Structure 1
Amino acid sequence: MTLFSALTLFLVLAAMAALPSSSVALVVARSAVSGVPYGLAVSLGIVAGDLIFIALAVLGMTALAAELGAFFALIRYAAAAYLVWFGISLIRGQLRREQEQAVPEVPRAAWGGLPGSFVAGLLLTLGDVKAIFFYASLLPTFLDLAALSSGDIALLSALCVAAVGSVKVVYAFAAQRLAARASGFAHARKAKMLAGGFFVAAGGYLALKG
């Protein structure tokens, strides 16, 4: 792998990770609601999913992934269910705050904790089986997959972690700062309920899409 191809691949992966998507929204929401560590856990799960896709592409298992369509469909449904549950939890939490004068903060364990955040990011990434074929078509543009050495594969994995992970980390910290500044925002409750509705809709779309 040449320096130019490595740099180009890094920039492409970072640009893809920065595009608005359900994974970005989940990182932002978890970080804003529960704290940066939870956004980072989602980010770690997303990176783990991308590494799995890269491994499939490098090992030439795209055809196998197609054969495992039913398995990936189950993963997609699990990710969709999590998004719907997360959205409903946001909405219900805000409704309770409207009905009670002082409601204690929702325990972080109720949101699935750090392991739940990691699994959510992983499932959301693996639920998009089309990403396998995307990596299978992207990587050959920059690399000769058949000629990759173990060092090249290690470098490729490191590029993925650095590119995708760094972008998601920026989103996590930015979301926490915005949440802190908006703590006194008059319409914060409505914004959170709207976010909850978005996740319910995103989960429904993920479950229904082919």
Structure 2
Amino acid sequence: MTLHSILALALAVFILGLTPGPGVFATLARALTQGVGPALIFVAGLTLGDLVYLAFAVLGLSYIAAEFSGIFLGIKIAGGVYLVYLGITLWRTKAEAADLGVGVERGRVRGFLSGLMLTLGNPKAAIFYIAFLPSFMDLHAVSLSQFAIAAGVISGVIFTTLSGYALLAARLRPVFKSPRAMLRLKRGAGSVMIGVGGFVISS
């Protein structure tokens, strides 16, 4: 991976990390109900889940890229189309406040595992990696060092971004529970997803 591709990957993961989804809302719930500490443990679990999907995506996509280039192209386009669909879905949602008080339980280990399982149970995470990795990594020759760099970039950006949400939620609870603010957040995220999906399809 070149320095340019590393920076581009970091920016793409950062943008995706900002978009609201199960992980973001669950992190907000932790911070609002239990404080920043438990929320960070939960975020660590979420981050590990992304690394698991990264490993699966690199191994699987490397094989597909080498043996079935036509299928690989179809998967990539399908991933981009799905991102556009998610963006349109966010744009069409109503201006309702998010239910941030669900799925919260005590305990560090349980909090970490719940974060891990939340990511592993979210098919959108796998689709994101299927759609994005080909734009930043040569899947015909993924070395251990390249995988380590990608894992470091992804885990660092995701953990930092979601931790920022947790810290912000602790200070701005009324803002996050405002229907108007949620509408703006969803539409902004929808616009980002539509743009990213278009990039994936055309790249």
Distance 1:159 1:116, change over 3 A: same
Q: Provide the residue aligned with 2:60 in structure 1.
A: 60
Question: What is the aligned-residue RMSD (CA, Å)?
Answer: 2.5
Query: Using the alignment, how far apart are the partners of 2:103 and 2:150 within structure 1?
Result: 38
Query: Using the alignment, how far apart are the partners of 2:103 and 2:124 within structure 1?
Result: 27
Query: Using the alignment, how far apart are the partners of 1:9 and 1:169 within structure 2?
Result: 19
8 Å contact from structure 1 (residues 31, 173) kept in 2: yes
Distance 1:46 1:137, change over 3 A: same
Q: Provide the residue aligned with 1:42 in structure 2.
A: 42
Displaced runs of 4 or more, over 3 A: none
8 Å contact from structure 1 (residues 31, 38) kept in 2: yes
**2:30 partner letter:** R
Where 2:172 maps in the other structure, the secondary structure is: helix
Matched, 1:131 2:125: yes
- Once the two structures are TM-superposed, the CA of residue 24 in structure 1 deviates from its matched residue by 0.6
8 Å contact from structure 1 (residues 38, 114) kept in 2: yes
8 Å contact from structure 1 (residues 62, 136) kept in 2: no
Q: Provide the residue aligned with 2:26 in structure 1.
A: 26
Distance 1:4 1:48, change over 3 A: same
Query: Using the alignment, how far apart are the partners of 2:35 and 2:49 within structure 1?
Result: 22
Distance 1:88 1:173, change over 3 A: closer
Query: Using the alignment, how far apart are the partners of 1:88 and 1:148 within structure 2?
Result: 37
**1:86-139 CA distances to partner (integer Å, 9 max, x unpaired)?**
6387xxxxxxxxxxxxxxxxxxxxx23122221121111111124223312210
1:143 to 137, 142, 148: 137
**1:169-201 CA distances to partner (integer Å, 9 max, x unpaired)?**
10111112235xx7xxxxxxxx6xx9xxxxxxx
Query: Using the alignment, how far apart are the partners of 2:42 and 2:103 within structure 1?
Result: 19
- Once the two structures are TM-superposed, the CA of residue 11 in structure 1 deviates from its matched residue by 0.5
Query: Using the alignment, how far apart are the partners of 1:125 and 1:172 within structure 2?
Result: 17
8 Å contact from structure 1 (residues 62, 133) kept in 2: no
Identity %: 34
8 Å contact from structure 2 (residues 61, 130) kept in 1: no
Q: Provide the residue aligned with 1:159 in structure 2.
A: 153
Query: Using the alignment, how far apart are the partners of 1:48 and 1:88 within structure 2?
Result: 19
Q: Provide the residue aligned with 1:9 in structure 2.
A: 9
Where 1:60 maps in the other structure, the secondary structure is: helix
Per the normalisation by structure 1, the TM-score is 0.60
Which protein shows a greater Rg? 1
Query: Using the alignment, how far apart are the partners of 2:35 and 2:115 within structure 1?
Result: 15
**Gaps spanning 5+ residues in structure 2: where?**
64-98, 180-203
Query: Using the alignment, how far apart are the partners of 1:137 and 1:172 within structure 2?
Result: 27
Where 2:30 maps in the other structure, the secondary structure is: helix
**1:35 partner letter:** G
**1:20-60 CA distances to partner (integer Å, 9 max, x unpaired)?**
11211111111121111111011111111100010001111
Count of aligned positions: 140
Q: Provide the residue aligned with 1:87 in structure 2.
A: 102
